[in-house]
Structure 1
Amino acid sequence: MELALYGPDGFFVSGAGPAAHFRTSVHASPVFAACMLRQLETVDAALGHPARLDVVDVGAGRGELLRALLSQAAPELAARLHPVAVELSPRPADLPPEIDWQADIPDGITGLLLATEWLDNVPVDVAVHTRAGWRLLLVNPKTGEETLGPAPSRTEITWLAHWWPPTPTRVGGRAEIGSGRDLAWAGAVGKVARGVALAVDYGHLRDSRPLDGTLTGYRGGRQVPPVPDGSCDVTAHVAMDSVASAGERVARCAYSLVSQREALRALGADGGRPPLSLASRDPAGYLRALAAASAAAELTDPAGLGGHLWLRQPVGVALDAVVAR
């Protein structure tokens, strides 16, 4: 999975980028960027409006979200913003010069660290529950053929026992081992000196883990078998409570974990249809409001993008000061 996604010819390193293959919240609508800007403004206020406000986008794609934040921010805020895209692919030729492009998360962030659909692409091992216990799943990257390998490591077995306990009679059930994602998120949170680390991703919680896991592939807008040959995105939903716990140990502060539907509505996204009376008074305004409502509805649909989970982990600031109500 590591080579298929991030190797020399990996899916995220070469080619046209994620937007050419699947639709994320960032690509779906400017409404998402507008809400993220409001989140950034709350962090800015909680920090006392510092002279430099970092906004670091981990897994930035081609910088779409940072471009939108720069274009939508008020002049006073835009002048203080220090946007950083963290991505392994080459810097896009048309990226605004104000946006830094780095392969690694910078140290000492004062502001907002964003990880929008990043953790689901942090590589995982897949385990199969057998009568003899957990066994790792091996996949031939050329043929997609699956075989059972050795038992997971002691660290992985400990993680599975706590975070993904199998149904006693469910032989053949699969799990995606999230210990590597816990480390990745804890490392990201550790880069924040003061501010908020925010992860937005498809996820699940301990009491409702999917019996067969969630590993899948995407290519050209279609769901495909997750063959790790570099031709498709290989992704799995995130054990969000596990990564939250790992981040909490670093941040030493309470966190917030809510659905995207709840988070975006608190930040002003309204999927309600505008009143019909507006159509007669201001037809063009009605059409704009209708388009915005449609976009917000897609972002907050609990069966789709609204099913994402938002994990906010504040560092050195109060949780209540950075969570919109």
Structure 2
Amino acid sequence: MSSYHPSEALLAQLPQPDSVEIQHSQKLVDLVVAEIEKQGGTISFHDYMNLLLYAPTLGYYSGGLAKIGNDGDFVTAPEISPLFGRTLANQCRQLFDQGCPRRILEFGAGSGKLCEQIMHKPGKPDSYLILELSADLRQRQQQYLKQVLTPEVFDRVSWLDSLPDKFNGIVLANEVLDAMPVNLVKKNKDWFELGVGFDGDRFVWNYLPDASEAVSSAENLEKKFGPYDEGYTTEINLNYLPWFKALGDCTDQVVALLIDYGYECAEYYHPSRQQGTLLCHYRHRVHSDPIILPGLQDITASVDFDGVADAAEGAGFDVVGLVSQGRFLLENGLLDEAEFNGRSDNTLAQLDVAQQIKTLSLPDEMGEKFKVIALKKNLDINLPAFSRV
């Protein structure tokens, strides 16, 4: 396979990293190159993405650079509007009222704003656990939440760096699944798995020499949804099942609400989606080249919600349903929250709240692009937002 050379035109369109970022990136490059040499010249894209995002102290999420918010690379719903977390808190309160244990476990709490929004609402949980792998983000969350929560409420929040031995309650994961490392496959007469090598001063694309589980998955997808044209490239996420099995092993009574952007399987792997869904986010610019700016940009892949559902069921969870974020928020009182929290004689403030509602719920904004999948285990509960689909 011919080497891939980063687009000078693309790099010219993006903000230039400063000297500190360049030094940080070079340390990560050295680590990845050492792993490439260790594995004989090529590593899977999965391993490459995993290092770029999660290498201790150097990866995108584990390093010390700002990531979320206006000064970072992207924003999530809790940063866009406090209405998101307050409305989600309504759903949590309904579940607690139905007998769900009064605890929340949030995966990857980002800025900490979702926790803040939930813990400011009546009916808050007795404890709020945050599983955060990044020591830097954990410190930022602790500093922020200590400022915005009362001491009594802050004492209910605690941090973990791995799954607890046992947890019962509500699991929340907002934009977590899209950050899982994925394998990349490409059709070139036969199917091949794409890997990453290093050529002098840059990362390059290579084919992995051996057949793999990702290749087998691609062959099965083509039988179901193909045929695919030459050059068809897509992602295979092999992490869903082990992730849900690990969660299932430590839970007995649980409801999980997973919020992310993605598609059902037939749409995800439609023959017209020639280049998959891989995206990179750098200072609020979006592009699709994951082998530039190593460690300085977020790398994501859309979620295959059918794959998530199959993996969850394989790990012992029941799938309650899948709905759009817009429907989920509206069913759980988004407009009531806006009316209660947006009362103001200030016209600009009223317009701002109206824009927040549109961004969170309208189909051409986040409302349809983002989905909520609900899972449960050993709990007899009702989630009206899903039962009315």
Bin the TM-score by the shorter chain. Answer: 0.7 to 0.9
**Higher gyration radius (CA):** 2
2:344, 2:350 within 8 Å by CA — same for their partners in 1? Answer: no
Q: Percent of aligned pairs with the same residue?
A: 25
Q: 1:283 and 1:89, CA in 2 relative to 1: closer, same or farther beyond 3 A?
A: closer
Among 96, 104, 109, the alignment partner of 1:60 is: 109
Alignment deviations for residues 6-37 of structure 1 (CA, whole Å, 9 cap, x no partner): 00201101122333210111211011001110
Q: C-alpha separation between the residues in 2 aligned to 1:107 and 1:197?
A: 17
2:366 maps to 305
The alignment's TM-score, normalised by the length of structure 2, stands at 0.72
AA in 1 matched with 2:164: P
1:255 maps to 320
Cα RMSD for the two superposed structures = 2.6
2:183, 2:214 within 8 Å by CA — same for their partners in 1? Answer: no
Shift of 1:223: 1.3
Q: C-alpha separation between the residues in 2 aligned to 1:223 and 1:103?
A: 30
Among 27, 45, 70, the alignment partner of 2:97 is: 45
1:22, 1:219 within 8 Å by CA — same for their partners in 2? Answer: yes
Shift of 1:322: 6.5
1:43, 1:111 within 8 Å by CA — same for their partners in 2? Answer: no
1:230 aligned onto 2:285:
no
2:376 maps to 314
Q: 1:208 and 1:270, CA in 2 relative to 1: closer, same or farther beyond 3 A?
A: same
Q: 1:323 and 1:151, CA in 2 relative to 1: closer, same or farther beyond 3 A?
A: farther
Unaligned 5+ residue runs, structure 2?
A: 1-48, 147-153
Unaligned 5+ residue runs, structure 1?
A: 275-281
AA in 2 matched with 1:149: L
Q: 1:185 and 1:252, CA in 2 relative to 1: closer, same or farther beyond 3 A?
A: closer
Q: Which structure has the highest helix share of the two? A: 2
1:216 aligned onto 2:266:
no
2:196, 2:206 within 8 Å by CA — same for their partners in 1? Answer: yes
Q: C-alpha separation between the residues in 2 aligned to 1:190 and 1:203?
A: 26
SS in 2 for 1:129: strand
1:199, 1:310 within 8 Å by CA — same for their partners in 2? Answer: yes
1:123 maps to 181
Among 84, 90, 113, the alignment partner of 2:129 is: 84
Aligned length: 308
Q: C-alpha separation between the residues in 2 aligned to 1:143 and 1:47?
A: 55
Moved over 4 A (4+): 161-166, 285-289, 321-325
Shift of 1:111: 1.6
Among 168, 192, 196, the alignment partner of 1:135 is: 192
2:78, 2:114 within 8 Å by CA — same for their partners in 1? Answer: yes
Shift of 1:201: 0.8
Q: 1:44 and 1:115, CA in 2 relative to 1: closer, same or farther beyond 3 A?
A: same
Q: How does 1:83-232 map to 2 (within 5 A)?
A: 83-90=128-135, 91-92=138-139, 93-94=142-143, 95-96=145-146, 97-98=154-155, 99-132=157-190, 134-140=191-197, 143-153=202-212, 155-163=213-221, 165=224, 167-209=226-268, 210-224=273-287, 225-227=289-291, 229-232=294-297
The alignment's TM-score, normalised by the length of structure 1, stands at 0.85
1:227, 1:234 within 8 Å by CA — same for their partners in 2? Answer: no
1:47, 1:195 within 8 Å by CA — same for their partners in 2? Answer: no
1:3 aligned onto 2:66:
no
Q: C-alpha separation between the residues in 1 aligned to 2:117 and 2:346?
A: 22
AA in 2 matched with 1:136: E
1:240 maps to 305
Shift of 1:181: 2.7
Shift of 1:200: 0.7
AA in 1 matched with 2:286: Q
Q: 1:205 and 1:44, CA in 2 relative to 1: closer, same or farther beyond 3 A?
A: same
Q: 1:107 and 1:299, CA in 2 relative to 1: closer, same or farther beyond 3 A?
A: farther
Q: C-alpha separation between the residues in 1 aligned to 2:179 and 2:73?
A: 14
